[in-house]
Structure 1
Amino acid sequence: MLVLTRKQNESIQIGDDIEIKILAIDGDQIKLGIDAPKMVDIHRKEIYLDIQEENNEAASLSADVLKLWQKSEK
């Protein structure tokens, strides 16, 4: 993991297309601004993990339904 120190109004550049800027620091909270192409999905990690879990559950459910359907065809 790369660890960088930044102050308010300083940025981090990722590749040519993504810039992360420190907008404000208020106590133990930091406000970040992220400038990235529209095709790049950006989520808070807890939301990303929820999406992954829901996708896995949906895929599992689809496989279960397919198995039930195959059994009913026999």
Structure 2
Amino acid sequence: MGAFAAQRLAPRSSVLVVVPSLNLLTQMIGSWRAASRGGEVRAVCSPVQDELPVGVTASTNGLMAASWIT
């Protein structure tokens, strides 16, 4: 549902999605991709890069995360 709402409200814009767990992050990425919501996926979380789906950039560095949105 979130992917479809984002597509309607911000079809060409970045969307911030906050989830409470790494399992939900992985689930959310899969459902957004299934809904054909393209674009970059970046995560601020603790897992190492190889624990996330292919194409997801992750960091625990606040300055790095800030650079993604500026």
Which TM-score band (shorter chain)? Answer: under 0.3
Pick the structure with more strand per residue.
1
Pick the structure with more helix per residue.
2
**Normalised TM-score (structure 2):** 0.27
Higher relative contact order (CA 8 A, sep 6+): 2
The structure with the larger Rg is: 1
